[in-house]
Amino acid sequence: MIELAHWLIYAYLMIRVALPTTASAIPRSISTSPGETISKNHEEEVKRVWRKADAVCFDVDSTVCQDEGIDELAAYLGVGEAVANVTRTAMNGNARFRDALAARLQVMKPNHEQLEQFVNISKPKLTVGIRELVSRLHARGTHVYLVSGGFRRLILPVAELLGIEKSRIYANEILFDKFGKYHGFDTSELTSDSGSKETGKPAVIALLKKMYNYKTVVMVGDGATDVEASPPADAFIGFGGNVIREGVKARAKWYVTDFDVLRKDLDHDESDIDDE
């Protein structure tokens, strides 16, 4: 009898496990956690802004281009590793941008002739898909800007390849004395610093909105200085096609690693309009 009782108890427990008696205990074929739902909603929110953008601002280094222009110039000057270390610290948000820029340039000290020689022998390494994306944006009438903490002289060839007007470049200017020797950089440029809404990329976007009355501006980039551009940018899209910065990825509501994703989303939007 004791053995029978034990067997009955065992059978009862097995039935309870196999046949849940509450709706909450019934397994679902598709399970979405609250966090996943919120994340998806945030992504859709950014997509809606992206599709109606009046202007799009792209970071250049490791976004529009595969490499970091400053690091490439440093390598050409023979101080690549030292400058790369400072760049990594700056891009991960561990140092004030202006201080990091000054430190990099102090190591490099390029003269005018060296800078021009580097530009003449170097060809921009455009990220796959950026030509098509910029072309698509232009076709929609969206204004495209290059907003960078890098150097304008290095970005001019990039803008030319992408059909972006020179006036739509916001970047830093290296200064030279009358003999062509390095003489610092222009600290009046908005992109020469970061860390507040009065400087850096936030200030550039605020200026663009004020000058051209843009209703919707989107910032696309890979680094910490790009994240801080929103607001005043109406949305930030993180890009990890060349390098993934975990801190940036964690803060981006929409994060992509391929520019074709952004281009195809625009095409998808227009097909929906046509169907209506």
Q: For residue 211, what are the contacts with CB-CB under 8 A and spacing of at least 6? A: none
Containing structural domain, residue 45: 41-67+124-266
- 54 in any annotated domain: yes
> How far apart (Å, rounded) are the C-alpha atoms in residues 161 and 241?
20
| Measured CA angle at 162 (ends 235, 49), to 5 deg | 15
Estimate the crossing angle of helix 97-108 against helix 69-76, to 10 degrees. 20
Look at residue 192 in the predicted model and tell me its pLDDT: 85
> How far apart (Å, rounded) are the C-alpha atoms in residues 203 and 205?
5
- 161 in any annotated domain: yes
Which whole-number Å values give the CA distances from 45 to 193, 198, 222, 252, in the listed order?
29, 26, 20, 12
Query: What is the maximum span of the chain, computed from C-alpha positions, in angstroms?
Result: 107
> How far apart (Å, rounded) are the C-alpha atoms in residues 133 and 59?
14
- 18 in any annotated domain: no
Q: How far apart are the first and last CA of the chain?
A: 75
- 111 by Cβ neighbours in 10 Å (0-12 / 13-18 / 19+) ranks as middle
Identify the three-state secondary structure at position 65.
strand
Q: Is 59 a catalytic residue?
A: yes
- 222 by Cβ neighbours in 10 Å (0-12 / 13-18 / 19+) ranks as buried
Look at residue 39 in the predicted model and tell me its pLDDT: 66
- 137 in any annotated domain: yes
Look at residue 90 in the predicted model and tell me its pLDDT: 58
Q: What CATH number should be reported for the domain holding residue 174?
A: 3.40.50.1000
Look at residue 269 in the predicted model and tell me its pLDDT: 59
> How far apart (Å, rounded) are the C-alpha atoms in residues 160 and 59?
16
Q: Is 274 a catalytic residue?
A: no
- 11 in any annotated domain: no
How many domains, the chain? 1
Task: Spot the catalytic one: 54, 61, 267, 275.
Answer: 61
Look at residue 86 in the predicted model and tell me its pLDDT: 72
DSSP state of 60: I
Look at residue 19 in the predicted model and tell me its pLDDT: 38
Pairing of strands 174-176, 55-58: unpaired
Asked if residue 192 lies in contact with residue 170, where contact means CB atoms within 8 angstroms, the answer is no
Q: For residue 158, what are the contacts with CB-CB under 8 A and spacing of at least 6? A: 60, 64, 65, 124, 126, 146, 164
- 167 in any annotated domain: yes
- 223 in any annotated domain: yes
Task: Spot the catalytic one: 54, 59, 260, 265.
Answer: 59
Residues of the chain with pLDDT below 50 are 1-38, 271, 273-276
Residue among 86, 116, 119 nearest 104 (CA) = 86
Look at residue 138 in the predicted model and tell me its pLDDT: 96
- 76 in any annotated domain: no
